[in-house]
Amino acid sequence: MTPIATVSVIGAGQMGAGIAQAVAAGGYRVKLYDVDPDRLPLALGEIAAQLARQVGKDRLDQAQADAALARITAVDSLADAGQADLVIEAAVEDEATKKALYAELTPLLASNAIVASNTSSISITRLAATTDRPDRFIGLHFMKPAPVMGLVEIIRGIATSAETYEAAVAFAESLGKTTTNAEDFPAFIVNRILVPMMNEAIFTLYEGVGDVASIDKALKLGANHPMGPLELADFMGLDVVLAIMNVLYDGLADSKYRPCPLLVKYVEAGWLGRKSGRGFYDYAGPVPVPTR
């Protein structure tokens, strides 16, 4: 197995930028690519701001932050991004989009490159089957925000080799992360448990059992959760929550995974949470205000 020195991150949204920051802070050279080139300078600005916050909290010194930022290079072609020892795909949580990306990416890769998906719910086996290297394909599911959260779920597809799995574990641990092995079932471990809880909280709101503030207060104080489930859903992105619920519902054929109609309505309205400025909270002012 070729040592990993250069890592490409494909997708410069919130997750992709966070992963690039975490990987660069771990000492690796990082190439950051996005299909929308206008997204790249925004992502680099977000990374610089996040590193500055970590310096302010004494988690990094200024020299470490500067070095991490210097290791990240924005690239404007998928061909350039494909020239890496490890490619981490962090595209939108949509299976067709990911498969189309792999079809374009695969011919551009070095023969020994490992491909990892940051998917939070989709079958690694199915994604791997669309590439020329299912033995060198693996799931690396970083938690959000990637630079801060300590866990990386590692998911093997049916064809993933032992060498690829061991390299993925060693890579994640080199970033200071703790790994957990999840089998290739819909939504894996964390989101198999967490996202249905959010969906149930939305049903609780939909049925009028409590309002947004009451539901979040109940879970924060009654279950000692750092964020309420509706606040967390807004943070994750309601479109992502819906996508994961659909994967669970389609993959497991169990009615308990049916997405709440209110969740569907919010996504149809474009109320996606923090990233759109409105979800179960309105983020227009200095303090988020419940919308229901």
Catalytic, out of 89, 93, 153, 231: 153
How far are the Cα atoms of 16, 23, 49 from residue 144, in angstroms, in the given order?
A: 10, 14, 16
Q: Whats the size of the chain, residue-wise?
A: 292
Of 8, 191, 199, 231, the catalytic one is: 191
Reply yes or no on whether 117 is catalytic: no
Q: Is 120 a catalytic residue?
A: yes
225 is catalytic: no
* Token representation of residue 289: 């205000």
Q: Which amino acid, one-letter code, is at 79?
A: A
CB 239 within 8 A of CB 271: no
Angstrom CA distances, 276 to 106, 143, 238, 280, stand at: 33, 20, 10, 11
Q: Catalytic: which of 123, 141, 199, 231?
A: 141
> Pick from 29, 27, 7, 9: which is nearest to 85 by CA?
7
HEC profile for 109-158?
CCCCCEEEECCCCCCHHHHHHCCCCHHHEEEEEECCCCCCCCEEEEEECC
Instruction: Tell me the torsion sign for CA atoms 63, 64, 68, 71.
Output: positive
Alpha-carbon span 148 to 90, nearest angstrom: 17
Active-site residue (options: 120, 121, 123, 199): 120
d(C-alpha 70, C-alpha 168), whole Å: 24
Task: For residues 232 and 205, give the distance between their C-alpha atoms in angstroms, rounded to a whole number.
Answer: 15
Q: Could you confirm whether 246 is annotated as catalytic?
A: no
Residues annotated as catalytic (active site), given as ranges: 120, 141, 153, 191
